[in-house]
Chain A
């Protein structure tokens, strides 16, 4: 029996390898109707009129919803996760290309789409704001004139760190380096798009929503708030999800339209996005225009960091992050280094683009922060003529500095950074690579070696600091042990492929001396699981995993009292060893959890205060975030004639504390590394000057395939988190966060002979070629 933490195969695979997963689009109910959304072709336009008469006359159409219809029910606008409002169906204006204008409900999928073409919308186009750098210019078109008194496109200013101390450190510096860099707009693009089947029970009025949701409980509360329906009459089922990566955190207008349509028609309504809708209207990610500065002494001691950021939030401020932090956790941008001071300042602006912002495995903007600091450190190395590995090693936080309070206020829980970097350098054969690079340069070949070292803060979060729309970020877990010792754990987080059914079973099994096969994990159904905020920001293991462990330990403590009654000894005379409560000094006298569970449900006389049965219900409020870290090295070969980048090797050493299922952890890292290749080299949502989204299909928004990805070389160090019950940290986003700068640093390193100091992502062949030619790269806008 395997009870420990080990690489056991996943329980969920049995259905997936047979093609028997159940995704939202697999759900078909009797009498179900199909919804489709009419979207704006303009990035900014007044809606003069919407004529749906011809669509309604279509023989297969059952209903058409417009913004006016929703407005009559008070549902034309909905709150966003950032305290803004977003149009469900446009009433006054459209504010980005792809915005929702009308919703057709028909008897089949194809007819719903046919009828979209029959809707006549009279638009009066307005000039859009496409380049975020012009959003605050005097006279810029005002996107959000729906907001009372709004006369500009400003959303927020936010700052962290000590501005004066940072300025002083810069004054003391021998060397400063600065750079403007763009983290371009990207998209998580899970292979399953977003969608819902909404069904209303005619008698009870109960609403059941099968939804692509990473956060079913938070969504239920939001639906209750928006629609005024009582929360206990809403059940959200998030079945198997075909990936999420952040895309399935927000509530989208299509969901609400499906709900309204189901209530209006009295029939189940299915709405599924198509790929273009997903890419053009769903949550984008990144879009940070950053100015970074780094200060150091001549001998390579980093003193301070400074950043000014312009954050393009699109037409509605709909980023999903803890309320107090409008720029997410960007202020972790001091990274893994021992600095004197740091200061960052972020300004958010509206533009004529899709809303979103925190939506792609970014750990609430740690991605942008890590990219900034890791690019700056590499640029500093170049300026100083230092080796980038040595410069990092010199400045990394040392193990004895933990817990470490960063200049911007974070308290890093644990780390042994030099050990991780040394392991990565050793695995890579770093010195050999540098020698090979020198040799190849002699031959006119352009090989790059890029490093990054990252620290993430994940597992939001302590409820006194972190909430989303007022909902504190604690998570529940309910554990029931049946009389025969088989257990059911109900959790509040939602797998999108991370393997919760296996990992969480292992967590409980380990605590109770059971086999993971004997622990069933229930998730994704608000009627069957305790409240919690869902899976994103790598929070499942740090928060919900901790809840599961605490629940299991409570069950074990209760089991001790029952075992004491069974063995007729004092509870203090029992110790937990080898999966059973044993009498100290007489370990053969023992009771296992299945034996105890049966007794706890029997007529055995229990000690005072022990209620019987073997259950526990826990709400876990994490005392801090967990801080996983890692050292990555990327080796590339660049063809100077075509600008093509080939990633030859990728070495990734991750430290996520204790690994519960190392196989699943490695799978998570593999995924994020592929993201790094994608984001650094090809994935970018680009717009033309009138706001046409040029990344609206997989023909234009390129994803890495098996040909672009090398065979990943993984290493691990284990520095347990001191505050997580089993010492685990989050791992779901580490590689997405840490890998892009390693790829970019590698390419820039390859291009050093051309004196290229920086080029923005995506480093497509065209952009690399432009960089070699000394021409500017504008990753966010189409070249016209």
Chain B
């Protein structure tokens, strides 16, 4: 499978969960394990273009697919606006749910660049945060949306000149 742009070939037990493959085999420990029952979402990663709960995906099912984890969010030293938004708006406290929240937020903004607060809440409704009461996560995603709007408007006006 390809993880964050790098191809990995491994022989694994058929029952190995994707989250354990990522964490224990590849040592990508940014994705976490939280509940085993697909309820909490701290294990969310992208499988191709879709956020999935990697505690309920077998590593073998990701064979031939692309996986993106939090470690793949930034471009080199340049943080994704979603990452910047979470830091700017206090969208995290203990940081355990944050990688999964940010990956879902990135997915949302790719499909809906200017979501409402209600749309953001719905997008993250399959994931649990025990620290923020969600308010600042919503603000973080709105911040990222605004930052990207400003960025693209800046790029457009530059192009027009």
Chain A residues whose C-beta falls within 8 Å of the C-beta of B32 in the assembled complex: 23, 25, 191-192, 242
> Quick check: B131 and A497 within 8 Å, CB to CB?
yes
- With A703-B130, A709-B135 as given contacts, are A13 and B86 in contact (CB-CB < 8 Å)? yes
> Quick check: B93 and A674 within 8 Å, CB to CB?
no
A667 sits at the interface (CB 8 A): yes
Chain B residues whose C-beta falls within 8 Å of the C-beta of A218 in the assembled complex: none
> Quick check: A709 and B30 within 8 Å, CB to CB?
no
> Quick check: A20 and B30 within 8 Å, CB to CB?
yes
> Quick check: B93 and A19 within 8 Å, CB to CB?
no
Select B94's contact among A22, A496, A672, A705, beta carbons within 8 Å.
A496
A110 to B15, CA, bound (A): 9
Select B34's contact among A15, A192, A245, A670, beta carbons within 8 Å.
A192
At the interface with chain A, which of B59-67, B106-114, B117-125, B147-155? Answer: B117-125
A498 to B95, CA, bound (A): 10
- B120-161 interface code vs A (CB 8 A; 1 in, 0 out): 111011111111111111100000000000000000000000
A266 to B56, CA, bound (A): 34
A109 to B24, CA, bound (A): 10
Chain B residues whose C-beta falls within 8 Å of the C-beta of A12 in the assembled complex: 95
Chain B residues whose C-beta falls within 8 Å of the C-beta of A670 in the assembled complex: 132-136
Chain A residues whose C-beta falls within 8 Å of the C-beta of B132 in the assembled complex: 667, 670-671, 674
Chain A residues whose C-beta falls within 8 Å of the C-beta of B34 in the assembled complex: 191-193, 275
A16 to B124, CA, bound (A): 18
B46 sits at the interface (CB 8 A): no
Select A243's contact among B15, B23, B99, B131, beta carbons within 8 Å.
B131
Select B95's contact among A25, A497, A666, beta carbons within 8 Å.
A497
Chain A residues whose C-beta falls within 8 Å of the C-beta of B48 in the assembled complex: none
Chain A residues whose C-beta falls within 8 Å of the C-beta of B39 in the assembled complex: 697-699, 703
A240 sits at the interface (CB 8 A): yes
> Quick check: A711 and B135 within 8 Å, CB to CB?
yes
Chain B residues whose C-beta falls within 8 Å of the C-beta of A712 in the assembled complex: 133, 135
Chain A residues whose C-beta falls within 8 Å of the C-beta of B29 in the assembled complex: 19, 22-23, 25-26
- A654-674 interface code vs B (CB 8 A; 1 in, 0 out): 000000000110110011111
- With A9-B87, A242-B32 as given contacts, are A191 and B134 in contact (CB-CB < 8 Å)? no
A14 sits at the interface (CB 8 A): yes
A705 to B100, CA, bound (A): 14
Chain A residues whose C-beta falls within 8 Å of the C-beta of B122 in the assembled complex: 706-707
- B13-46 interface code vs A (CB 8 A; 1 in, 0 out): 1011000100110011111111111011010000
Minimum CB–CB distance from B24 to chain A (whole Å) comes to 7
Chain B residues whose C-beta falls within 8 Å of the C-beta of A15 in the assembled complex: 95
> Quick check: A17 and B86 within 8 Å, CB to CB?
yes
Minimum CB–CB distance from B17 to chain A (whole Å) comes to 9
Chain A residues whose C-beta falls within 8 Å of the C-beta of B129 in the assembled complex: 191
**Looking at chain A, what size class is its interface with the partner chain?**
35 or more
- A22-46 interface code vs B (CB 8 A; 1 in, 0 out): 1101101000000000000000000
- B84-99 interface code vs A (CB 8 A; 1 in, 0 out): 1011101011111111
A110 to B16, CA, bound (A): 9
> Quick check: A698 and B94 within 8 Å, CB to CB?
no
> Quick check: B93 and A498 within 8 Å, CB to CB?
yes
> Quick check: B13 and A243 within 8 Å, CB to CB?
no
> Quick check: A16 and B136 within 8 Å, CB to CB?
no
Chain B residues whose C-beta falls within 8 Å of the C-beta of A243 in the assembled complex: 93-94, 96, 130-131
> Quick check: A19 and B92 within 8 Å, CB to CB?
no
A127 sits at the interface (CB 8 A): no
> Quick check: A663 and B95 within 8 Å, CB to CB?
no
B70 sits at the interface (CB 8 A): yes
- With A13-B87, A25-B33 as given contacts, are A18 and B94 in contact (CB-CB < 8 Å)? no
A23 to B87, CA, bound (A): 19
A703 to B40, CA, bound (A): 9
A23 to B27, CA, bound (A): 13
Classify the secondary structure of B's interface with A: loop
A461 sits at the interface (CB 8 A): no
Minimum CB–CB distance from A242 to chain B (whole Å) comes to 3
> Quick check: A705 and B131 within 8 Å, CB to CB?
no
> Quick check: B96 and A17 within 8 Å, CB to CB?
no
B74 sits at the interface (CB 8 A): yes
A441 to B87, CA, bound (A): 44
Chain A residues whose C-beta falls within 8 Å of the C-beta of B130 in the assembled complex: 188-191, 243, 245, 671, 674, 703
A274 sits at the interface (CB 8 A): yes
> Quick check: B94 and A19 within 8 Å, CB to CB?
no
Which chain B residue shows the least CB distance to A190?
B130
> Quick check: B96 and A23 within 8 Å, CB to CB?
yes
B83 sits at the interface (CB 8 A): yes
Chain A residues whose C-beta falls within 8 Å of the C-beta of B31 in the assembled complex: 19
Chain A residues whose C-beta falls within 8 Å of the C-beta of B136 in the assembled complex: 667, 670
- With A240-B95, A498-B93 as given contacts, are A275 and B135 in contact (CB-CB < 8 Å)? no
Chain B residues whose C-beta falls within 8 Å of the C-beta of A462 in the assembled complex: none
Chain B residues whose C-beta falls within 8 Å of the C-beta of A497 in the assembled complex: 92-95, 131
B7 sits at the interface (CB 8 A): no
B102 sits at the interface (CB 8 A): yes
- B41-84 interface code vs A (CB 8 A; 1 in, 0 out): 01000000000000000000000000001110110000100011
Q: Most chain-B CB neighbours within 10 Å: which of A15, A17, A707?
A: A17
A574 to B93, CA, bound (A): 41
Select A709's contact among B28, B42, B134, beta carbons within 8 Å.
B134
Minimum CB–CB distance from A62 to chain B (whole Å) comes to 18
Chain B residues whose C-beta falls within 8 Å of the C-beta of A190 in the assembled complex: 94, 96, 130
Select B96's contact among A18, A191, A699, beta carbons within 8 Å.
A191
Select B125's contact among A17, A18, A20, A707, beta carbons within 8 Å.
A707
Select A13's contact among B35, B92, B120, B133, beta carbons within 8 Å.
B92
Q: Which residues in chain A, 497-535, are within 8 Å of chain B measured between CB atoms? A: 497-499
A66 to B28, CA, bound (A): 34
> Quick check: A18 and B71 within 8 Å, CB to CB?
yes
> Quick check: A706 and B87 within 8 Å, CB to CB?
no
A712 to B13, CA, bound (A): 46
- A277-313 interface code vs B (CB 8 A; 1 in, 0 out): 0000000000000000000000000000000000000
Select B37's contact among A10, A192, A698, beta carbons within 8 Å.
A698
Minimum CB–CB distance from A652 to chain B (whole Å) comes to 10
- With A191-B42, A673-B133, A698-B128 as given contacts, are A275 and B35 in contact (CB-CB < 8 Å)? yes
A21 sits at the interface (CB 8 A): yes
Which chain A residue shows the least CB distance to B122?
A707
A241 sits at the interface (CB 8 A): yes
A33 to B120, CA, bound (A): 41
- A701-731 interface code vs B (CB 8 A; 1 in, 0 out): 0010111010110000000000000000000
- With A10-B87, A19-B30, A242-B32 as given contacts, are A671 and B93 in contact (CB-CB < 8 Å)? yes
A21 to B74, CA, bound (A): 16
> Quick check: B121 and A706 within 8 Å, CB to CB?
yes
Chain A residues whose C-beta falls within 8 Å of the C-beta of B93 in the assembled complex: 243, 497-499, 667, 671
List of 9 A-B pairs having minimum Cβ-Cβ separation, nearest first: A19-B30, A497-B94, A16-B95, A242-B96, A19-B70, A670-B133, A497-B93, A698-B39, A674-B133
Q: A21-B30, A241-B94 are known contacts; what are 7 more A-B pairs with Cβ within 8 Å?
A: A14-B87, A19-B99, A242-B42, A275-B37, A670-B136, A671-B93, A709-B135
